[in-house]
Amino acid sequence: MSVSGQVNWPPEAPVWTFQWEVNDGDSEAIAFRNVHFRGKKVCHKASLPMIRVRYDSGAGPYKDPLSIGNMQGPVKVYEHNQSGFRHLVVESYHRIGQYHLVNRWFFRSDGLILPQLHSAGLQHPASHQHHVYWRFDFDIDGAANNLALAHVATGGNWGYGAGWMPLPRETWQGTNAATGWAVINKSTNRGYLVDRGPHDKPADAFEPGDMYATAYRGTEDLKGRLGTAYSSQISTHVDNENIDGQDLVFWYIAHLHHIYHGPEFEWHVCGPLLWPLRY
């Protein structure tokens, strides 16, 4: 049974408006649609459609779907105050085997978005890595005229500030290629910066990418059906298409390393920081 809701927050003077949904048959946890901050469009859709897990012991690998079938209890929507900021939190709790997984999104009053996956439990007594894939169909001030940028440590100026290099065609990048990313509207210069989370580790051979940028194609939004335990298959959507001034999709991948120290129940967290630019 699908569930959904509408958010206008805070109720006395909304800065965030969007719809959320968890659809029966899909496995992308909570999908957020038509996300606006201060009346300006941010995303057509944002979700977490894939988690892949590799164990050092050779067990698996696994692809863990976050679906309404393994969701425990209802979607929770509540306000949280921390460090002088108000946050709206939308979260779902899932059980897959021995794993406890909380898909938690913070929408801060100043525009910061914090998508997080909290994980606890062990499927096997061995160190392992969770690779967590967030898909952001950015529509900064609308679907058209968007551009992805990478911040490179070597410097250079392409007209977007020191170190900010445009990515005019579909691509992917690993840990050492960039220190962060952004998606902007070329006309308004509004956008969102995408920073690695403080707990996100380097990519590895099992998933070499930290990000993928692809042209938007409705047929490529597979709502959790893309990928297998052995491959994310996002690279099949990277065809060197032009994404300069186009409608684009940005994938962010967090690499969560869980070092086994014996029987335990300890929560681990990963996820990016999305900062508003000129909103």
Q: Three-class SS string for 41-110? A: EEEEEEEEEEEEEEECCCCCCEECCECCCCECCCCEEEEEEECCEEEEEEEEEEEECCEEEEEEEEEECC
In this prediction, residue 1 has a pLDDT band, given cuts at 50, 70 and 90, of confident
What separation in angstroms does the CA of 109 have from each of 82, 201, 226, 232?
11, 28, 33, 33
Q: Report pLDDT digits (tens) over 191-210.
A: 999 999 999 999 999 999 99
Q: What is the mean pLDDT of residues 6-34?
A: 97
pLDDT of residue 125: 86
Query: Out of 35-44, 84-93, 117-126, 140-149, which region has the weakest mean confidence (pLDDT)?
Result: 117-126
pLDDT of residue 145: 96
Q: Which residue has the tokens 């469009």?
A: 41
pLDDT of residue 258: 85
pLDDT of residue 259 exceeding 90, the answer is: no
Question: Which residues does 75 contact at the CB level (< 8 Å), separation at least 6?
Answer: 3, 5, 20, 22, 30, 90, 91, 92
Q: Report pLDDT digits (tens) over 21-57.
A: 999 999 999 999 999 999 999 999 999 999 999 999 9
Q: What is the mean pLDDT of residues 115-142?
A: 93
CA angle 260, 262, 268 (to 5 degrees): 50
pLDDT of residue 264 exceeding 80, the answer is: no
Q: What is the pTM of this model?
A: 0.97
Cα 244 from Cα 23, distance rounded (Å): 32
pLDDT of residue 265 exceeding 80, the answer is: no
pLDDT of residue 122 exceeding 90, the answer is: no
Going from N- to C-terminal start, the domains of the chain cover: 3-277
In this prediction, residue 68 has a pLDDT band, given cuts at 50, 70 and 90, of very high
pLDDT of residue 76 exceeding 80, the answer is: yes
Q: Is 3-277 a domain of CATH 2.70.98.20? A: yes
Q: Which residue has the tokens 């298959």?
A: 233
pLDDT of residue 123 exceeding 90, the answer is: no
Q: What is the mean pLDDT of residues 79-105?
A: 96
pLDDT of residue 222 exceeding 90, the answer is: yes
